[in-house]
Amino acid sequence: MTDVLRIDGLSAGYGPLRVIHDLDLVIKPGERLGIVGLNGHGKTTLIYAIAGLTGWQRGSILLNGTQIGRTRSQGPGRYTHQIVRKGLALMPQGDEIFTGLTVEEHLDSGAFTREAWRDRKIRKERVLDLFEPLRKLMRTPVGRLSGGERRMVSIGRGLMTDAKLYLVDEPSLGLAPKIGQSVMEALFALDLKDSAMFIAEQNVALLEGRVDRVIGMHAGKLKGEASAGLGFN
């Protein structure tokens, strides 16, 4: 079985600043992977590089066997939608939401593949099961929601397709601890089947014991497996 993600010698950065240094990473199907690290050590950039949103990048990124990374330095985001359509669900930091759309339309906008659009009702139900509080907000414009609800919407939007790889960037950032916890619960409750999930997080305690692997990130490089065996007890 092919790896969900295989990164080989990835470097990325913005203009004269290099953030990621020759990074290698393999994510197996069905794996939930946590990346921990302090601010400014390249967690978000790594996610952006996978999605093609960095200023420049180099190295190979194989998503399910198809090449989505290459040496390029066009404007960021030029190919993002194509990469996303190859089976990536991106739940970015800071809730990239469409303020004027309602929650329902938001979830619909996440269902961009043909199959997902066809049975979007079932999928919406599935997301609502994960995020109960959204059920009664379906007709509200997202601009009026609170931070936690927005995060739920933006994560729920990512869950609408059968992505191969879910990239979650700092799901608990800026949320009250309790809400952050519940958002994390929802992420852990998701049945991954043969896809994989990649969570970047500053707060190790939230990941402890719930993910298959935790990798530390320091200065643009992955620092071994922080606790491959430790996490499971």
Is residue 157 at the binding interface for other proteins, with CB under 8 A as the rule?
yes
Choose which of 37, 110, 148, 156 interacts with other proteins (CB under 8 A): 110
Shortest spacing between CB 104 and other proteins, in angstroms: 10
DSSP 3-state assignment of 39? coil
Is residue 40 at the binding interface for other proteins, with CB under 8 A as the rule?
yes
- Return the sign of the alpha-carbon dihedral for residues 76, 79, 82, 87: negative
Q: Which of 114, 122, 127, 118 has its CA nearest to residue 187? A: 127
Cross-strand bridge partners of residue 225:
215
Choose which of 26, 65, 67, 85 interacts with other proteins (CB under 8 A): 85
Choose which of 67, 109, 146, 181 interacts with other proteins (CB under 8 A): 109
Cβ partners under 8 Å of residue 63, min gap 6:
4, 5, 50, 83, 86, 87, 88, 164, 165
Q: Are 131 and 152 in contact (CB under 8 A)?
A: yes
Choose which of 81, 135, 136, 144 interacts with other proteins (CB under 8 A): 81
Q: Which whole-number Å values give the CA distances from 94 to 90, 136, 175, in the listed order?
A: 12, 23, 11
Is residue 67 at the binding interface for other proteins, with CB under 8 A as the rule?
no
DSSP 3-state assignment of 165? strand
Of 9-17, 170-178, 181-189, 207-215, the window that binds other proteins (rule: CB under 8 A) is 9-17
Of 101-109, 125-133, 185-193, 206-214, the window that binds other proteins (rule: CB under 8 A) is 101-109
Q: Which residues bind other proteins (CB under 8 A)?
A: 11, 13, 15-19, 21-22, 40, 51, 55-56, 58, 73, 75, 77-78, 80-82, 84-85, 90, 92, 96-101, 105, 108-110, 112-113, 117, 157-158, 161, 219-221, 224
